Amino acid sequence: MKGKAWKTNMHTREVSASACPDIEALSAGLSVLLCTILFMGKRSGRQERSKKLELAQSETMKAGADVQNSNKEAEEPKAKDQRLMSLFGVADLKNEAIGLYNVGQSCCLNSLLQVFLMNIHFTGILRRIMIPRHAAQMRRNVPYQMLLLLEEMQRGKRKAVFPTAFAHCLSAYRVKLFVQHDAAQLFLTLWNVIKMQMGKPELVEELSDLYTISVQEHLACQKCSLETKRNSSMLTLPLPVLDSNSHKLKTLEDCLQYFFHPEELTDHNMCFCEQCGRKTPFLQSLKLVHLPKTLTIHLKRFCFEKSAYIHKLSHYLPFPQDLDFSAVLTEDQCQADDNEKAAWQYELFAVVAHSGSTSYGHYCAYIRSLTECKWYCFNDSEVCQVSWDDVKCTYGHSNLYWAETAYLLIYMKKQLQ
């Protein structure tokens, strides 16, 4: 079948490649810099809605070159390997949480790293990776470098550590320092590289189960009722915060209902029907099949004006601490049995927030410790305990130019009794 509805355009946008700055130079004198957010995609109104079937799990990060084997094997002390493999997660520590120094507009990367490493389900997978044998492999292996960073964060009571070695590793996969990154895009890039280099098939499967959302796409011809179904998967739920008439959606629940609401494809959006032999109006819908243990929601707080200027949407949009998908979505919006829907009980784990405009700004992360059940604000090297009222400040405020707004919401599935 031809037509607009089956196009999948949410591929991970590649970051332009260049050599990463020398590690010693970075470590010597980098101060905390502000990073800017780079919003992507020209989607607003009905065009934005007709693109909602985009898939975020496409394997788009391809390594530029194969890892070169080095004849010189790196030193692998047995004690160090045992120490690495015994790590579980930053959230397990009883001492203070550790920050990450900004090493060149890396506030976006730092925020995402903290979200990954504070997730004990993710670090439980990370600590079981296969340790690379050669120095060249170690330098280019993202999961291994993430494990080394985790070890360094747990080693002492320092205020913060430098993620320069990890950033240098990412440069081999077109993720540069000193450039502005989009948090949703960088999350997809990191996840794809981690999955590609995980090594053990069982760990790849566990990683996919931890983050992957399963949906079923439906297209129904309005002339002959011919219906086509397709199962697909996503890494994030990319929720618009405006409806097709550019009206502001008022709550996260409204955004979810709008995302899964059927849409009529008419006029220039019509699809070709094989049974009718011509383009006809179609009804496009998306049904939820399965939700993972760690659910990532991307709030699309941007729109394009007629002048092609990207405008940030900072209006007030509350989100709950506890979220029950089976209560938010209707029966027609779900393609799951009762046992699956009974497990759709979530509580908020983390918020990646952005302050500033589309031209410049700054990222930080609010994360709830899974062991202490306390909220922390990770602002690069500065980490402090905060309250739920502090987290609620990321709901947004249209009248504040530097309004801090939630951009990524990470929910964790509740443990059923």
Measuring CA to CA, which residue among 134, 100, 104, 110 is closest to residue 190? 110
| Lowest mean pLDDT segment, chosen from 82-86, 198-202, 252-256, 292-296 | 82-86
Give the pLDDT score at 417.
52
Q: Are 113 and 350 in contact (CB under 8 A)?
A: no
Residue 319 inside a domain? The answer is yes
**Planar angle of CA 142, 145, 150, nearest 5 degrees:** 125
Whole-number Å distance between alpha carbons of 321 and 301: 20
Q: How many CB atoms lie within 10 A of CB 401?
A: 11
| Lowest mean pLDDT segment, chosen from 32-46, 75-89, 129-143 | 32-46
User: Residue 306 — very low, low, confident or very high, per pLDDT cuts 50/70/90?
Assistant: low
Whole-number Å distance between alpha carbons of 189 and 63: 11
Query: What's the chain's length in residues?
Result: 417
377 given a catalytic annotation: no
pTM to 2 decimals? 0.77
Expressed as residue numbers, the domain containing 228 is 31-57+77-413
Whole-number Å distance between alpha carbons of 1 and 339: 34
Number of domains in the chain: 1
Residue 285 has pLDDT above 70, yes or no: yes
Residue 93 inside a domain? The answer is yes
Angle, to 10 degrees, between the axis of helix 183-197 and the axis of helix 201-211?
A: 160
| Lowest mean pLDDT segment, chosen from 86-90, 259-263, 332-336, 368-372 | 86-90
Give the pLDDT score at 367.
97
Residue 25 inside a domain? The answer is no
Q: Are 377 and 107 in contact (CB under 8 A)?
A: no
User: Residue 383 — very low, low, confident or very high, per pLDDT cuts 50/70/90?
Assistant: very high
Give the pLDDT score at 416.
66
Task: Single out the catalytic residue among 20, 35, 107, 273.
Answer: 107
Residue 5 inside a domain? The answer is no
Average pLDDT, stretch 185-197? 95
Residue 283 inside a domain? The answer is yes
354 given a catalytic annotation: no
For residue range 397-406, what is the model confidence (pLDDT) as tens digits? 887 877 899 9
Residue 379 inside a domain? The answer is yes
3-state percent breakdown (helix, strand, coil) of the chain, nearest 5: 30, 25, 45
User: Residue 305 — very low, low, confident or very high, per pLDDT cuts 50/70/90?
Assistant: low
| Tokens found for residue 29 | 């004198």
C-alpha distances (whole Å) from 157 to each of 93, 96, 153, 305 are: 11, 7, 8, 48
Task: Single out the catalytic residue among 168, 362, 364, 377.
Answer: 362
Whole-number Å distance between alpha carbons of 407 and 395: 10
Average pLDDT, stretch 380-409? 92
| Lowest mean pLDDT segment, chosen from 12-16, 200-204, 215-219, 376-380 | 12-16
Give the pLDDT score at 399.
79
Strand extents, DSSP E, 93-150: 99-100
Residue 140 has pLDDT above 90, yes or no: yes
| Tokens found for residue 415 | 């443990």
Residue 127, burial from CB neighbour count under 10 angstroms (0-12, 13-18, 19+) = middle
Give the pLDDT score at 10.
34
Residue 65 inside a domain? The answer is no
Measuring CA to CA, which residue among 332, 319, 331, 337 is closest to residue 408? 319
Residue 6 inside a domain? The answer is no
Percent of residues, the chain, with pLDDT higher than 90: 52
| Tokens found for residue 144 | 């291994």
- Output 417 or 148, whichever has higher pLDDT: 148
User: Residue 307 — very low, low, confident or very high, per pLDDT cuts 50/70/90?
Assistant: low
Q: What is the CATH number of the domain that holds 85?
A: 3.90.70.10
Whole-number Å distance between alpha carbons of 156 and 220: 59
